[in-house]
A and B are shown apart, each in its own frame.
Chain A
Amino acid sequence: MTTDTDVIDAARRLVAAELAPPSRIAHGALLGVASAMTLTILSLLLTEPALPARTTAALIGLTMIGFAWSGYALWVLARRHVLYGAQRVVAGWIALGAATVFSIGGLAVGVWGAHPAGLVAGISGIPVAAAAALILSHARRRVTMLADRLHVIKTEAVSMR
């Protein structure tokens, strides 16, 4: 016989497991690393002159694998381990920070190190940083809107007492 306490405990366990941060952090890290690696390899592929055919094939293969891992991590974060308000803002800042550092690093290597691959990597990181900025802005607007609504509800509740 299932009691109310049993079903509440079961729901609590499920919620705790679903909201557990390690998997989210792991998949967020996977997304960051896979994206950075993919962009770097793609830059090498596009800028290195006269690569042997086998090297070109290997780099294409690695790029495809990188895109696949990035896509998988994105899918998990979007569908399986969704992020809530404050988490989205933190994730947005991390994404913006990582993309900015990657772009500036790539551009620095390209300009001062005279490596075209760095330049391409740095430039390709700019749209990623822009996307991260958009996501961050959207997440902050949403949190502000929710916080405002919560404030209104609490104020109404107090005035009704």
Chain B
Amino acid sequence: MQGRGDSSDEEIVIRCQLGERDAFDMLAVRWAGPLSAYARRMTRDEDAARELTQDIWLRLLRSLPRLREPSRFRSWLFGIAHRAFADTLRRRYATTYHLDEGMPPPIGMAAADDDAALHADLHQIEQALTDLPPVEREVLTLFYLHDLSIDEVATSLSVPVGTVKSRLHRARRLLRRTFDMQGE
């Protein structure tokens, strides 16, 4: 998320860790939007998104002094967001549902060019994302909409890189299927 201002994430985070008050303000300005957008995409509900965003911020502020590698702030931050969202789901369904295990069965469909669907405009993608299961929605959100690398997504979700790739593959197929259904 660099480029929105003169300071890098690492610089802002270090200044926060040092306790500089204005750095927290910069952090809020820079990350309030992306975190809120992540929460909205994942919860698909305005009130739940607001609650999740608040939860993420509280966790962020309480964990920030322990962040050892400020240069990896983005993946660390979305790792926090992921865990907050997972806890939200667990509370909501009061089950032992785990994001890592709760994969929906792959939907059978003809193999096709997985990336074709991604040529649609951002608005269409946002709409289609809301129909995806949480696991696929999250990996697409982080990779495409928040520009995290596959390594960063893996770190955020605490899963191997190979798992991220397979989730992305499945998510693209589901997304394509959604687009196909919208087109019919």
Interface residues of A (CB under 8 A from B): 2, 4, 7-8, 10-12, 14-15, 18-19, 79-80, 82-88, 143, 146-147, 149-150, 153-154, 157
Known: A19-B24, A150-B14. Contact between A11 and B19, CB under 8 A? no
Chain B residue with Cβ nearest A154? B11
30 A-B pairs within 8 Å (CB atoms) are namely: A2-B50, A7-B32, A7-B35, A7-B36, A8-B28, A10-B53, A10-B54, A11-B31, A11-B57, A12-B32, A15-B25, A15-B27, A19-B21, A19-B61, A79-B62, A82-B62, A84-B19, A86-B19, A88-B65, A143-B18, A146-B17, A149-B70, A150-B14, A150-B15, A150-B18, A153-B8, A153-B11, A157-B6, A157-B8, A157-B11
Query: Considering the chains assembled together, what is the distance between the CA atoms of A154 and B33 in angstroms?
Result: 26
Chain A residue numbers with a CB within 8 Å of B36 are 2, 7
Check B29–A15 contact: CB distance below 8 A: no
Known: A14-B58, A143-B18, A153-B8. Contact between A83 and B65, CB under 8 A? yes
Check B65–A82 contact: CB distance below 8 A: yes
Chain A residue with Cβ nearest B33? A4
- What secondary structure prevails in chain A residues at the interface with B? helix
What's the nearest-Cβ distance from chain A to residue B88, in Å? 17
- What secondary structure prevails in chain B residues at the interface with A? helix
What's the nearest-Cβ distance from chain A to residue B38, in Å? 11
Check A86–B18 contact: CB distance below 8 A: yes
Chain A residue numbers with a CB within 8 Å of B31 are 11
Known: A14-B54, A19-B24, A86-B19. Contact between A153 and B29, CB under 8 A? no
Chain A residue numbers with a CB within 8 Å of B18 are 84-86, 143, 146-147, 150
| Residue in contact with B24 in the complex, picked from A2, A15, A88, A149, CB distance below 8 Å | A15
* B100 on the A face (CB < 8 A): no
Check B61–A11 contact: CB distance below 8 A: no
* B148 on the A face (CB < 8 A): no
What's the nearest-Cβ distance from chain B to residue A74, in Å? 15
Query: Considering the chains assembled together, what is the distance between the CA atoms of A2 and B58 in angstroms?
Result: 20
* B10 on the A face (CB < 8 A): yes
Chain B residue with Cβ nearest A86? B19
Query: Considering the chains assembled together, what is the distance between the CA atoms of A12 and B57 in angstroms?
Result: 10
Query: Considering the chains assembled together, what is the distance between the CA atoms of A137 and B28 in angstroms?
Result: 31
Check A84–B65 contact: CB distance below 8 A: yes
Query: Considering the chains assembled together, what is the distance between the CA atoms of A82 and B59 in angstroms?
Result: 11
